[in-house]
Structure 1
Amino acid sequence: MKDKLKRMEDLIEELNKYSYEYYTKDNPSVSDREYDMKYDELLTLEKETGTVYPYSPTLRVGDVVLPEFQKYTHIARLWSLDKAQSFNALEEWHNRNVKFINNYNNLNEEKLPPIKYIVTKKFDGLTVNCTYDNNGILVKAATRGTGEIGEDVTQQVKTIKSIPLKIKNNALIEVHGEAIMTKEAFNEYNKSAAAPLKNLRNGAAGALRNLNVKETARRRLSAFFYDVGYNEGEPFKSYKEMLNFLIEKKFPVDEYMGECSNLEEVKREIEIVRNLRETLSYDIDGAVIVIDDMRTRELMGYTVKFPKWAIAFKFEAEEATTKLLSVEWNVGRSGRVTPTAILQPVELAGATVKRATLNNMDDIQRKGIKIGSNVFVRRSNDVIPEIMGVASERDDQQEIMPPKMCPYCGSELVQDGVHYFCENTLSCKPQLVKSIVHFASREAMNIEGFNEKTAEQLFEKRDIKSITDLYRIKKEDLLDLDKFAEKKAEKLVKAIEKSKNCELSSFIYALGIANVGKKTAKDIVKKFKTLEEVMSCTYEELISIQDIGEIVAKSVLEFFNEDKIINTIQELISVGVTPYYEEDTVKDNPFLGKTVVVTGTLENFSRSEIKEKIESLGAKVSGSVSKKTDFVLAGKNPGSKYDKALELKVEIITEESFYKLLNN
C-alpha cells in the first residue's frame, strides 16, 4: 500500500509538471500518449487504494453536479479598481500620486522611492480568488462577489488545467486571477452547443457559475494570475517581486509587463496594450496601472471602494446591443448567398456600426436571432461586426426566412448543407464581378487601374462573361465606358497585357480557391513548383505541407477536379497567361537553419513582419523557449520567454544586434 501511495505522489508531481508545461508554458516535454499512459496508471492506483489526493489531476474532469453554491468569506478583501477613460483622468491620478510622495518625503526621514508604475493587461473575464494552505494545496476558490463574500467555485476552478492544484510554498496565501475563455475554446464549444454562448466573458462567467461541473470542464477555460491578496509568508517589497513569485510558483502569468517612471511612458505602454488587443485570442478591456513599491501602497491606502495606488484605463467597448432591423441577402463570387444584418446604428469600438454578418441560416437558428430582436454585436480587429446572440426579445419579432430565388438574377437557389447557392455562374452579376475583381487584385494578377466599377461596366456594356474575356479586351472596347478616356483605356489594356507574365503563387491565389489565401498559395507553389504539378497533386502531398490541413487540402482537390476550372485555366494559357516560379535562394546568414523566439515589442517590425523576415532567412520562428532554441529576439518589455532564455542560457539578441548580425 505504501509503495502504491508513493507511486501516486510521484505520478501526480509528474502529471502536474506536464500540465504546467503544456497549458502555461506552451512547451510540452512529453507526447500526449505518454501523458495518457501515466494518467491512466494514476486512475488505476486511485481505484485500488481508494485514495484521491486533493491535488490529483484526475479531479480536473469535474464529473459532479453540486446541489447549490456555498458562500465563502475571503481572508482579505478583494478591491475594485478606479477607472480612467481619458488621459486627462489618468494625469489627475498620476499628479495625486506624485504629490503624495513629495509631501511624505518632505515630512519624513525615511524616504519613499521615486514613482515607478507597472502596466499590465486588464483581462475581461471573471475574477477568482484561490486559497493555498500551508502545504501549498489549493483548498478553496471563490468568485469576487461583494469583495468580502463570494461563492465557492473550487470544483469548477479545478477544471482549469493551467491553475496549479499544489505549489511549493509553506505559507497560507490568497491569489487573485481572472478566469477567461479563449476564442478557440469559444468557437469549439459553440460548434456542438445546444445553446451557443454569446461572448467570451459570459462563456467564462457561466462556466464558473454552473453547478454541473462537467459543463464547466467542457468550456476549457484558461486563467491569468496577477496578485497575492493575502500572504502569511515573506512580504513582498514590490509588485514586480510579487509577479515573479507567481511565475516561480508556476501560476499562469501573462508575459506582458510594462515598467514606467513617468506619465509619458505610461501612455506609451497603454498604446502598446491597445495594439496587442487586436492580436490576442482572449478579451481585454483596458490596461491596469499600479504603483510598484509596496511601502508606498501601504501608506497611500484605500478609498471606500478602490486602492489609491492603482487605476484601470478602459478601452472602447468591442461589444454593444442594438436592434436588428432587417436582413439583406448577398451573392459572393462562389455563388454562395449569405445573410447580412441591417442594424439600428450603434457606436462600437470607435465606429458607427450599421451592418453585421450573420454567417448562415444554421447560425441564425442556433442563436435564436429574429428581425426585431435586440442583439449583441461584436466588433474587433477591424473585421466585419458579428451578431453573437439575442440580448432580449420583443413582441414585434419576425422569423428570418431564406430566399428561394437569387436576389440578383432570379435563378432558383440550391441548398448545400447550411448554405444556399446561385448556380447561374454565367450571368449572375455579383458572382462574375467579384470573381474578376479578385482575379485582378494586387496580390493576385495585379492589374493596375482595374476595380469593381470597371468590372460592372464590362459585364453590363461589353458582355464580359469570363475571366478569359479580360484578355480579349481592346482599347476601343473601353472608350465609351464611364470615366474612360483614351489614355486611361490604353493604360488598362497595357496593365492587362503585363499581368500575363505572373508569379505562379499569384496565379493560384487569383483563381479563387476556397480557403486558399496568398500565404497558402505560396506554400503550395513552393512544394510543387509548376502549375501542372499543382493541378495533379494528391491529398497526402497537400497535408504534408506545414499549415495545410484537411479542409484546405479538400478545397484544392475539389477545385481542380472541376472540368470548367480546367477549361478556364487552359483558355487563360491559350491567350498568353504564363505563370512562372522562381526558387527562393537563401544566402548564408547567422539565422539559417536556426530556431528563433520573439518576445517584447519591436520598434521597426510588427509580429507578422518579423516572423516573415526571420523565415525568409531560412530560420524557424517558435512560440516558446526550449533547449532547442538558438536565439531569443527581445524587444521592449520582454516577458517570461526572456526569463526562460536566461534560465536555459539561450542567446538573447536585441533588435539592434539582430541588424548587426545580418549586416556582418
Structure 2
Amino acid sequence: MTDSMETMKALIEEIYSHNHLYYTMDQPSISDADYDLLYDRLVAMEKATGITLPNSPTQRVGDQILKGFDPHRHKSRLWSLDKAQNKDELMIWYTRASKLVNEYNDQNDEDPLPPLSFVMELKFDGLTLNLTYDHGELVQASTRGNGVIGEGILAQVKTIRSIPSEIPYRDGIIEVQGEGIMNLSVLEEYNKTAIEPLKNARNAAAGALRNLNPKVTDSRKLNAYFYQVGYTDGLRFENHEAMVEFLRNNRFKVSPLVQVFDSIEAAAGELDSITAMRHTYDFLIDGIVIKINDTRTREVLGYTDKFPRWAIAYKFEAEEAITTLLSVSWEVGRTGKITPVAKVEPVDIAGVTVQNCTLNNVGDIERKGLKHALGSQVFIRRSNDVIPELLGKVTEEMDGEEIVAPVSCPSCGSVLELKGAHLFCLNRVECRPQLIGRITHFASRDAMDIETFSIMTAEQLYAELNVKDPADLYDLTFEDLIKLERFGDKKAKNLLASLEKSKQCDLSSFLYALGIPNTGKTTTRVLADHYRDLHKLMAATPEELVALYDIGGIMADSIVSFFRDPLMQRSIDRLLQAGVTPVSEEAPVIMNADNPFFGKTIVLTGTLSIMGRDEMGKKLEALGAKITGSVSKKTDIVIAGESAGSKLTKAQDLGIRVIDNEQELLEMLGEA
C-alpha cells in the first residue's frame, strides 16, 4: 500500500506540473493523449486501492449540487479602485499622491520614501476572486462581496485548471486576489453547441462561478489571472514587482502585461498604444491599472473610505453605436424621482446587446437635443458595466416625434413637481413604486440585511398584505405569510427569523436603510460615528451638520427635512416600538494622565495573538491613544506582534519605545 501511495503522490505531482505548463504557461509538454493516460492511471489506482488523496485532481469537480453559498470574511479587505477617464484625471491622481509623499518626506528626512515609480497592468473584466492558502493548500475561495464579506465558491473555483490546488509557499496563510474570466475563444466554441448561447464572456464567467452546480462551472472552461497578495502571516514584498514574481513562482497566472515606469509621464505615454491593443487579447479588459510600485509608499499613502490612494484604474473610452430611438418610458424611484428610460432598436456593443438606455432627467433630454428624437437615429455609448447612455441625435434635423414629459405620476396620477432638472412625485403615501422601492432598499444587504428578501417579496407583500412602510414588516405573522403563494412553511419561518435578527443593528446601517435623500453609506457612517444616538441626530440642526466631514448645505437640509417630516417620524417611531434597536459603538472614554496610553501616538505592526489589530486599535483609542499607520519622529510607541517588518526596524532606528511582549501589553491594559 505504501508503494501505491507514493506512486499516486508522484502521479498527482506530475499531473499538476503538466496542468501548470498547459493552463498557466500555455506551454504544453506532452500530448493530450499522454496526459489522459496519466489521469486514467491515477483514476484506476484510486479505484483499486479505495484511497483518494485530498489534493487529487480527480476531486476538482464535485458531484453534489450545493444548497447555497456560505459567507466568507476576508482576512484583508478587498478594495475597489478609483477611476481616471482620461490622462488629465490620471495626472490629478498623481499630483495628489506626490503631495502626500512630499509631506511625509518633509517630516521624515532621515528615512524618506523613494522617488515614485509605477507599475502598469491590464484590468481584467471578469469576477473578482479571493483565494486562501493554508500552508500551501487551497482551503477557500470567495467572491469579493462587499469587500469585507464575500461568498464561498471553493467548489466552483476548483474547476478552473489554471488555479493551483497547492503552491510551493508553505510558511503560513496567504490570500491571493485575481479575476475569474472566460476566454473569448472558449466562449465562441461554447456557443457553437449551446442550447442557450451566452451573451458575453464577463457574464458567462460571473454566472458560472456563482452557479450552485460546480459541473456547470466546469463546462464553461474558465481561466483566472492573479495580481495581488492581499494578506500574509508575515511575508513581505519590497515592491509590486517582487509580489508578481512571487505569484509566478507559486504557479499563478499573471497579467501578460506588467510594465514598470520611473515616471508618470512615461506611464501615460504608453496608454494609447496599450489601449489600441485591447482587442488583440483573448479575454475582455476594460482598462489599465496603474499602481505605485514601492510597498512602503503604499503603506504611508493608505486608503480613503473606498479606494487605495496608491492605485487607479485608467478606464478605456466607452464604445459607441448608432441605433433608432423607439420610445421613452418614465419610471418612479423610491425617492419619488421620475427617470426617463429610452428603448432603442437592439444593437450589439462589445458583445452586449443593448435595448435600454438611461436619459437621466428631463433636463438631459433638452441638453442633448433629443426633444424631437422618437423614431430618429441616435448615438448610444456603453462604458463597462454602466447602463448604456443615450448621447444625442445623429442629425440635427427635427425629424422625429416629440418626447413629451409627463405632468402627472405614471403610477399614482399625482401632479409632478419639477425640482432643478428632475421631476418628482410627492405622493409618498400611496405611490406604489416609491413604497416598494423604499421597503426593498430598507431590507437590502448594506441596510438592514434581511435575508431571503427581494423586490419580488416586497411587491407580493404590498399587493396581498398591504405592506407600505418598513415598519409594517415587523407586524407580519406566520399566519399572514403562510397563506401567500410561494410561501411555504420554511420560507415563512425564514423571513420571520431574518426580520427578528435584523432588529439588532448598527446605527449607520439603520440610517442608510431609512433612505435619507442625498446620503449614502459613507455619510450615514459619519453621522452614526458623530452622534452615536438616533434621537440626537434627529434633533440636529443644519449648522451642526455642515461642520461634519463631507456634508454640505444641500445634504444637511435633506437630513434635517427628513427627520422633521411627520411621516418619517411616525415610521421611525413604529420601528423602534417593534423592537428595532440601532446602536453605535460607545464613544472613546477620555482617560486621565495615569493611563499609559493616554495622548500617545501608537503604531501597530505584525500579528498579535491576543486579538486582531483592528480590535486592539479600537481598545487603545478608547483609552485616549491616537492610532496611525506609519512610524515617524512623532510616534510614541510601536506595538510589534509576530512577523513585524520595516515599521519595527524604523522604530528601533529612531529609538522609539517598542512593546513586543504581549504579557507586558496586557499588564499595561490592566487585563493581565
TM-score (norm. length: structure 1): 0.49
TM-score by length of 2: 0.48
